[in-house]
Amino acid sequence: CEALSKPLPARELKAILTKYRSMFDCSPDALRTALQNQEFFLKLQPKLALRERVISGFEALLRWNHPQFGEILPNKFIPEFEKHNLFKLLSDYVVEHSCISVKKIDASGCVPIQTSVNISAGDLSDLELANRLKRICSSNFVDPRQITLEITETVAMADPVTAMDNLTRLRLAGFKLSLDDFGTGFSSLAFLRNMPFNEIKIDMLFVREALRSKSDQTIIKAINSLGKAFNMSVVAEGCEDAETLDLLEKLECDFAQGFHISRPLTVDDAIEFLHSHSN
Ligand code: C2E
Ligand code: MG
Ligand code: MG
Ligand code: MG
């Protein structure tokens, strides 16, 4: 019919695509097959040291290069892995691929830098976690001290006793630990004091409006003093412009991440970025 022969407006096309993307197959078999076929890959987002203004590391962020629907963001598929209890497979995959990119970055002649890896909710209840991750690092010839594991506040709070046990084992194995999305979950100050984190990441909720919001600035400043008192470095997430970057430095954040510094990059682009931003 005539309507079908006309090209669809971009907005409608986008809506249809979004609808299909939310319908992709997330059965356990489909997820396993996609992992086996290496359809997942990592993008690396640079992390900037504010005082020195040098790139001090990358955060590995997972993407699904779906054969039908193209690049899919993690919020769409990570909950599916968790729902089907496949998070171990996923985290092993992510740590292994992070090790591969660490080796590639080191081999490119850059100074060795830190790579941060997000691990899943369920991981923290597996007491074999530290051994599992240590084994993956050693079979890829990567020192665990080059890897920072990011854990969200909510995840670490679900079972604090087991979490504490696991976090201690991870530290003993050499991994660094980062408390992700801080300030929006339910952790108490006692929790922060007792857990062996090396780093706190301020949730972007407080960063994105910081220029206009005095109360967000107060919160950022308070988290920075907590970080100093507990000997943890502080990273601000979601820095989207130069003015915010200057403000974060003034408020004494140690590090910043965000689209203003760089969007997440492919491993090759990340290496190029690193070379062009090192003095
Ligand atoms: P996250 O760990 O808090 O990662 C930060 C998210 O913010 C990333 O989204 C990143 O692309 C985005 N972002 C960075 N800078 C900016 C900015 O300036 N503005 C805005 N609006 N956004 C910014 P992404 O890649 O979609 O990841 C979303 C979440 O998915 C991550 O939040 C993390 O919790 C989870 N995730 C990502 N990769 C993995 C993984 O390999 N394993 C697990 N378990 N979770 C992962
Ligand atoms: Mg993270
Ligand atoms: Mg975060
Ligand atoms: Mg997040």
What's the pLDDT tens digit per position in 19-57?
665 678 889 999 999 999 999 999 999 999 999 999 999
Answer yes or no: is the C-beta of 183 below 6 A from any ligand 1 atom. Answer: no
Answer yes or no: is the C-beta of 199 below 6 A from any ligand 1 atom. Answer: no
pLDDT of the residue at 273: 97
* 207, 237 contact by CB (below 8 A): yes
Q: How far is the CA of 150 from the centre of ligand 2 (A)?
A: 6
Q: How far is the CA of 136 from the centre of ligand 2 (A)?
A: 20
Answer yes or no: is the C-beta of 127 below 6 A from any ligand 1 atom. Answer: no
* 77, 69 contact by CB (below 8 A): no
Answer yes or no: is the C-beta of 240 below 6 A from any ligand 1 atom. Answer: yes
Pocket test for ligand 1, best of 61, 83, 179 (most atoms within 8 A of CB): 61
Distance CA 155, CA 180 (A): 10
CA dihedral angle for residue 125, residue 126, residue 129, residue 130, rounded to 10 degrees = 70
Q: Which atom of ligand 1 is nearest to the CA of 61?
A: 38
**Residue 2 — pLDDT band, cuts 50, 70, 90?**
low
- Between residues 188 and 102, which one has the greater pLDDT? 102
Q: What is the pLDDT of residues 202-249, one digit of tens each?
A: 999 999 999 999 999 999 999 999 999 999 999 999 999 999 999 999
Ligand nearest to the CA of 202: 3
Answer yes or no: is the C-beta of 89 below 6 A from any ligand 1 atom. Answer: no
pLDDT of the residue at 120: 87
pLDDT of the residue at 150: 97
Place of tokens 């830190």: 114
Answer yes or no: is the C-beta of 236 below 6 A from any ligand 1 atom. Answer: no
- Of the given ranges (8-22, 59-73, 173-187, 218-232), which has the lowest mean pLDDT? 8-22
Supply 265's token pair.
Answer: 């990059």
pTM over 0.90? The answer is yes
Q: Which residues partner with 61 through β-bridges?
A: 43
Ligand nearest to the CA of 201: 3
pLDDT of the residue at 10: 85
Q: How far is the CA of 227 from the centre of ligand 2 (A)?
A: 18
In degrees rounded to 5, what are phi and psi of residue 160? Answer: -60, -30
Q: Which atom of ligand 1 is nearest to the CA of 75?
A: 30
Answer yes or no: is the C-beta of 78 below 6 A from any ligand 1 atom. Answer: yes
Answer yes or no: is the C-beta of 119 below 6 A from any ligand 1 atom. Answer: yes
